[in-house]
Chains A and B, each alone.
Chain A
Amino acid sequence: MLDRIAALGRVTLDTVAGAGAALLMLLKALIGKPNVRKSWPLLMQQMYAVGVLSLIIIVVSGLFIGMVLGLQGYNILVDFGAEQSLGPMVALSLLRELGPVVTALLFAGRAGSSLTAEIGLMKATEQLSSLEMMGVDPLRRVIAPRFWAGFYSMPLLALVFSAVGIFGGYLVGVRWLGVDEGAFWSVMQANVEWGQDIVNGIIKSLVFAFVVTWIALHKGYSCTPTSVGISRATTSTVVTASLAVLGLDFVLTALMFG
């Protein structure tokens, strides 16, 4: 019995310590005198790895999700003679929910896992210690550019996702199923608000970007420096980040649209 209670206490302490370590890592990496000349090329490199290389998977999945929304929405709406509402249905579900959330999930799988694995391997091969030996702060040199790259990339990716998804819905709804083109766009414009829908979607994806990148970096930085440890950390990144995104999405939706 006492062992059980002790085990519970240990888990609690580990969780709190882990959260504290993650916060400290982030603060140490981000707070400090910025050195634009040095950090700019690093940021560019990471933006390329994290953002540009994720573009293809985002565009392809956005197109297909938009097309599926168009098809499913049409089949339901046509029963009510309301197929002209297809435009706002596709646009609102993409802008408010699917754009930020699916982008964050794909980002966690595509970029988050690779960030964790990269940093975990750096740790396992003592590269982080070597940097410290040379007087370079690995948090500033390795963690910070990756964090900012993720933070800037994901909202852009989410916007691309939504735009491509709306185009996919347009292709299926208007080009294939014959919804009136003028009604598709004008009813969409009448129902989508700039501040309510687009800006809130961007805020959502900024929050997700922060959380996913942070989790990925911390899991890599704090992993056990063995092959098993790295593999566990990578899995844990994808699982934790996805759960955090879905949970936060509910909270944010309740705050914004509730």
Chain B
Amino acid sequence: MESRNTQLAVGLFVIIGILALLFLGLRAANTSAVTSGETYRLYAKFDNIGGLKERSPVKVGGVVVGRVSRITLSGEYYEPLVEMTISATYNKFPDTSSVSILTSGLLGEQYIGLNPGFIDETVEMLQDGDQIYDTKSALVLEDLIGQFLFSQGND
């Protein structure tokens, strides 16, 4: 009988452990299915990506629709090429859309803001592997200060 009680206690212990794992997984961590499930890839070339990293979010109007999956240098001019993995739920972006690298808050992480463009008969929808040409690079503080000083000097 004692052995049965022992087994019962150990069984409860294991259940408590698994419940803790479930609590951590569901309540504390983001398992939201943005990059799991069906996805497709878009590319964008920037002059400067600033502090963008792999796994940085891609947002439309503040809503996360995907993540940066790879950052490489491409072409003979070594321009940064960013590969974005977008959830297939959002697959109706026109090819007039633009992307810009933005910062969340004053000191926050950098992310990619995707602005859907206009739609008419000549505009096609972005497919897997397409590139977005209308891009705006990250703001680099040193460049801004440089421009500011330069414009001061002209006055």
Could you tell me the distance between the alpha carbons of A166 and B26 in the complex, rounded to whole angstroms? Answer: 13
Are A190 and B13 in contact (CB-based, < 8 A)?
no
Interface residues of B (CB under 8 A from A): 3, 6-7, 9-10, 12-14, 16-21, 23-25, 27-32
- Beta-carbon contact of A192 and B10 below 8 Å: no
Q: Kindly state the separation between the CA atoms of A162 and B20 in the bound complex, as whole angstroms.
A: 8
Chain A: CB-nearest residue to B26: A189
**Residues A188 and B28 in contact, CB atoms below 8 Å apart:** yes
A162 to B27, CA, bound (A): 12
In the complex, what distance in Å separates the CA atom of A156 from the CA atom of B23? 13
A121 at the interface (CB under 8 A from B): no
A194 proximity list for chain B (CB < 8 A):
25, 29-31
A115 to B21, CA, bound (A): 27
Interface pairs A-B: 5 shortest CB-CB: A156-B17, A163-B20, A159-B20, A192-B29, A47-B10
Question: Chain A: which residue is nearest B17 at the CB level?
Answer: A156
Which parts of A184-243 form the interface with B (CB within 8 Å)? 185, 188-190, 192-194, 197-198
Q: Is A44's CB within 8 Å of the partner chain B? A: yes
Cross-chain contact of A95 among B13, B14, B24, B31 (Cβ < 8 A): B24
B30 touches A45 (CB 8 A): no
Q: Is A145 an interface residue (CB 8 A)?
A: no
Closest Cβ–Cβ distance, residue B18 to chain A (whole Å): 8
Check A166 against B13 for contact (C-beta < 8 Å): no
In the complex, per-residue mask of A39-83: 1 if CB is within 8 Å of any chain B CB, else 0: 001001101100110010000000000000000000000000000
Which residues of A sit under 8 angstroms from B14, Cβ to Cβ?
A: 156
Q: List the count of A-B residue pairs having beta carbons below 8 Å apart.
A: 74
Q: Can you name 7 A-B residue pairings with CB atoms under 8 Å?
A: A44-B6, A44-B10, A55-B13, A155-B17, A156-B18, A160-B20, A189-B32
Complex contact A189–B28 (CB within 8 A): yes
Q: A residues bordering B, Cβ < 8 Å?
A: 41, 44-45, 47-48, 51-52, 55, 91, 95, 153, 155-157, 159-160, 162-164, 166, 185, 188-190, 192-194, 197-198
| Closest B residue, CB atoms, query A48 | B6
B29 touches A51 (CB 8 A): no
Structural contact, B16 and A55, CB atoms closer than 8 A = yes
- How distant is B103 from chain A, measured CB to nearest CB, in Å? 16
CB neighbours (8 Å) of A55 from chain B are 13, 16
Task: Write out the residue numbers on chain A whose beta carbons fall within 8 Å of the beta carbon of B25.
Answer: 194, 198
Determine if A41 and B3 form an interchain contact, defined as CB atoms under 8 angstroms apart: yes
Instruction: Determine if A193 and B10 form an interchain contact, defined as CB atoms under 8 angstroms apart.
Output: no
Measured CA separation A157–B13 after assembly (Å): 9
Q: How far is the CA of A155 from the CA of B28 in the complex (A)?
A: 18
Please measure, in the bound complex, the distance between the C-alpha atom of A189 and the C-alpha atom of B25, giving whole angstroms.
9
Residues of B within 8 A of A193 (CB): 29-30
A51 and B17 alpha carbons, distance in the complex (Å) = 10
Across the two chains, which residue of chain A brings its CB closest to B32? A189
Name the A residues within 8 Å of B21 (CB-CB).
Answer: 159, 198
Given A45-B3, A162-B20, A166-B27, 6 new contacts (CB under 8 A): A44-B3, A55-B13, A91-B28, A166-B24, A189-B29, A193-B29
Provide the residues of chain A in CB contact with B6, threshold 8 Å: 44-45, 48
Given the contacts A194-B25, A198-B24, A189 and B10 also touching, CB distance less than 8 Å: no
Contacts of B13 in A (CB 8 A): 47-48, 51-52, 55, 153, 156
